[in-house]
A and B are shown apart, each in its own frame.
Chain A
Amino acid sequence: MTDHYLISPILTHLFSVILLLFCWKKVRLQKVISIASNAIIMMIAVFLWMKVWNQGILSMQGGDWQAPYGITFVADTFSATMILLTAVAGFAVSTFSAAGISKQRIQHGYFPIMHLLLMGLNGAFFAGDIFNLYVWFEVIIIASFVLMTLGGKKPQMEGAINYVTMNLLASVIFLTAIALLYGLTGTLNMADLSLKVALVQNRSMVNVTALLFFVGFGIKSAVFPLYFWLPSSYNTPPSAIAALFGGLLTKVGIYALIRMFTLIFPPDDFLHYLFLFVAIATLLTGAAGALIKRDFRKMLSYLIICHIGYMVAGLGLFTRSGMNGALFYLFQDIVVKTNLFLIAGVIFKMMGTMNMDRLGGLAKSHPRLSALMAIAFFTVIGIPPMSGFWPKISLMRESFTTDSYLLLAALIIASFLTMYVMMKMWTDIFWKPQTQEIPQGKNSFDELRPHHRQLLVIPIAFLCLLSLALAFGAEQVAQVSNRITTELMEPQGYIEAILKPNSKP
């Protein structure tokens, strides 16, 4: 089905950027515009999702050049779900930013850049052309560079160097892989590539290209040997920005990995074992890193890495229920990781520090807020019936039935260590008596005006509710991920929707 509606989230973000640029110095107006446009985009995303659910895969050809010659935008169920979750996370972060980001940062263009980042994410999820995907990745990273360095504090700049270097290197590797792929097949359209890569005689060259894609996206999604930039940079920017990064930026790498390795390079034995090895190593090293850190956001950064392992494991198993688990995990992880970084922001506002040794006593001073935050903590651990539980059980069962016992052990150990880390966080932050007085002027949360405090709490409550909905609506979510798995594992539907858009009624 050809449908021009699917480009509307991108256009709405673009128009909000233009609008926001016109109110450069008007801080309050920028906040209103940003929240309103994110709310509108959330509604658009819901409609788009329903449309894709009811009508099947939608596609749009740029300039009406028929595929594979033009630039293609595609919305299958996977893209539409990612767009929906991006819109949700974007709305939460933009509401949080209205009170959580300082006036100076907003005056230096925080909101326009944030919308550019979200636009890049939307574009990457819609891209049906591999070079177009590269361009959207560049939009994402240039916007994230600016967000990361905005404010110019010393640790921020130091983290930014790692972040910028590794992301630029990843882009070059991605570009190299595109060049090789174009040399092999002479096409860039992903649906067309899926058909033509299978026909290439030179299999070793195809495998080299696949590995280059894996390294390029692996750096972006922070898998085992390539993740060291993440914990050294994600703890430096303000929490609202870190929430956007932690919730969405690594996930777009995972999205690209899943897309590439189901559509274009279905894993052979070597890739299968490579993915399983990388997943095991990511799970264990991420969890181990979280154990030894004492900075709240640094622990969260390592937990991001650890949980990326679950998704790579699902891709590595490459069976229906493995993929199901990976997708379910991906969806709930976006919500909960965004939420945890927002929580970190609120805790920082309350206590003026992120160091676990100096935090404490929040359960006594803010009991209701603590109960709210407990929901997010339990979700990360995956205590049944919270949403982390369902994908984990399906991944574990699948690694059991495919005899991948090492992976099973890694999954269990990583879950256990996650629980240990979250429990340690919980006792240190909430139950431990407060050891030190908060320095004067640091406890800005209680001194905020009530409506500002609400702006900080509402997004957290919103995301907690969403986690609960994902947990108790697990059957529906499983249906969605099941349908996505079918679309991914049998890509004929995707290919036909792009190459012959008008053949079906």
Chain B
Amino acid sequence: MELLLVILIGILYASGLYMMLRRSMVKLLIGLILIGNGANLLIFLLGDLSKGKPPVIDVALTAFQNAYADPVPQSLILTAIVISFGLQSFAVVLLKRVYMITDTDDLDQLNSDDQDI
């Protein structure tokens, strides 16, 4: 399971970065979303995967070793998902506005402001 997640995270980061380096605005957005999801999965992976254990500790237990799933990574991911959801929806609206104003999807065309050096 860990190996599968590692490969998946690698693919998400790589494809996200690749998409961000493209010239199209929509691909930029997809890249941002992919790389954000990769980061969330990375937190999940590094918080130690454990199967079928509750995130609370049984009263009867005296030792903590492997007795419970760590709840912190899950709350971190939840927070990160909510934040990235907000930021990504802002980015969608921004890109739509930019497209409406400049009438192009090509990021290399967006330099009217640099013309006067």
**Considering the chains assembled together, what is the distance between the CA atoms of A171 and B87 in angstroms?**
11
A501 within 8 A of B: no
A351 to chain B, nearest CB (A): 15
Check B87–A154 contact: CB distance below 8 A. no
**Residues of chain B lying within 8 A (CB to CB) of residue A180:** 42, 46
Return the chain A residue nearest B102 by Cβ: A154
Check A142–B86 contact: CB distance below 8 A. yes
A483 to chain B, nearest CB (A): 34
Check B83–A135 contact: CB distance below 8 A. yes
Partner of B87, one of A138, A159, A183: A138
A294 within 8 A of B: yes
**Residues of chain A lying within 8 A (CB to CB) of residue B94:** 145, 149, 157, 160-161, 164
Return the chain B residue nearest A184 by Cβ: B46
**Residues of chain B lying within 8 A (CB to CB) of residue A155:** 112-113
**Residues of chain B lying within 8 A (CB to CB) of residue A169:** 20, 32, 35
Check A165–B117 contact: CB distance below 8 A. no
A295 within 8 A of B: yes
**Residues of chain A lying within 8 A (CB to CB) of residue B80:** 175
Q: A176-B42, A179-B43 are in contact. Are A142 and B87 (CB under 8 A)?
A: yes
**Considering the chains assembled together, what is the distance between the CA atoms of A160 and B97 in angstroms?**
11
**Considering the chains assembled together, what is the distance between the CA atoms of A171 and B39 in angstroms?**
10
**Residues of chain B lying within 8 A (CB to CB) of residue A18:** none
CB neighbors of B among A395-422 (8 A)? none
Q: A135-B79, A159-B113, A180-B46 are in contact. Are A172 and B87 (CB under 8 A)?
A: no
Q: A145-B94, A168-B32 are in contact. Are A355 and B116 (CB under 8 A)?
A: yes
A: number of interface residues (CB 8 Å): 39
**Considering the chains assembled together, what is the distance between the CA atoms of A26 and B112 in angstroms?**
35
**Residues of chain B lying within 8 A (CB to CB) of residue A157:** 94, 97-98, 101-102
**Residues of chain A lying within 8 A (CB to CB) of residue B117:** 292-294
A338 to chain B, nearest CB (A): 23
Check B87–A158 contact: CB distance below 8 A. no
Q: A152-B97, A295-B116 are in contact. Are A182 and B90 (CB under 8 A)?
A: no
**Considering the chains assembled together, what is the distance between the CA atoms of A342 and B14 in angstroms?**
42
Q: A182-B43, A183-B47 are in contact. Are A165 and B116 (CB under 8 A)?
A: no
**Considering the chains assembled together, what is the distance between the CA atoms of A183 and B72 in angstroms?**
11
B76 within 8 A of A: yes
A209 to chain B, nearest CB (A): 11
**Residues of chain B lying within 8 A (CB to CB) of residue A188:** 72
**Residues of chain A lying within 8 A (CB to CB) of residue B28:** 165
**Considering the chains assembled together, what is the distance between the CA atoms of A84 and B59 in angstroms?**
47
A232 within 8 A of B: yes
CB neighbors of B among A135-169 (8 A)? 135, 138, 141-142, 145-146, 149, 152, 154-155, 157-161, 164-165, 168-169
Check B110–A158 contact: CB distance below 8 A. yes
B114 within 8 A of A: yes
A124 within 8 A of B: no
B37 to chain A, nearest CB (A): 10
CB neighbors of A among B35-65 (8 A)? 35-36, 38-40, 42-43, 45-47
B8 within 8 A of A: no
**Residues of chain B lying within 8 A (CB to CB) of residue A176:** 39, 42
**Residues of chain B lying within 8 A (CB to CB) of residue A178:** 43, 76
Return the chain B residue nearest A141 by Cβ: B87
B107 within 8 A of A: yes
**Considering the chains assembled together, what is the distance between the CA atoms of A131 and B70 in angstroms?**
16
B91 within 8 A of A: yes
Q: A155-B113, A165-B32 are in contact. Are A175 and B43 (CB under 8 A)?
A: yes
**Residues of chain B lying within 8 A (CB to CB) of residue A179:** 39, 42-43, 45-46
Q: A131-B79, A169-B20 are in contact. Are A182 and B113 (CB under 8 A)?
A: no
**Residues of chain B lying within 8 A (CB to CB) of residue A161:** 25, 94-95, 98, 107, 110
B102 to chain A, nearest CB (A): 7
Q: A149-B94, A155-B113, A165-B20 are in contact. Are A172 and B72 (CB under 8 A)?
A: no
**Residues of chain A lying within 8 A (CB to CB) of residue B112:** 154-155, 158
Check A175–B39 contact: CB distance below 8 A. yes
CB neighbors of A among B68-95 (8 A)? 70, 72-73, 76, 79-80, 83, 86-87, 90-91, 94-95
Return the chain B residue nearest A188 by Cβ: B72
A282 within 8 A of B: no
Check B46–A236 contact: CB distance below 8 A. no
B66 within 8 A of A: no
Partner of B113, one of A135, A146, A183, A232: A232
**Residues of chain B lying within 8 A (CB to CB) of residue A293:** 117
Subset of 21 A-B contacts with CB under 8 Å: A131-B79, A141-B87, A142-B87, A142-B90, A152-B101, A155-B113, A158-B102, A160-B94, A161-B98, A164-B90, A165-B20, A168-B36, A172-B39, A175-B40, A175-B43, A178-B76, A179-B45, A179-B46, A183-B45, A188-B72, A232-B113
Query: Which 8 residue pairs across A and B have the least CB separation, nearest first?
Result: A183-B46, A155-B113, A179-B43, A158-B110, A175-B39, A179-B42, A157-B98, A138-B83
Residues of A within 8 A of B (CB): 131, 135, 138, 141-142, 145-146, 149, 152, 154-155, 157-161, 164-165, 168-169, 171-172, 175-176, 178-180, 182-183, 186, 188, 232, 235-236, 292-295, 355
What 18 additional pairs, Cβ within 8 angstroms, besides A157-B98, A161-B95? A131-B79, A141-B87, A154-B101, A157-B97, A158-B113, A159-B113, A160-B94, A161-B94, A164-B90, A165-B32, A168-B36, A169-B35, A180-B46, A182-B76, A183-B45, A183-B46, A186-B70, A292-B117
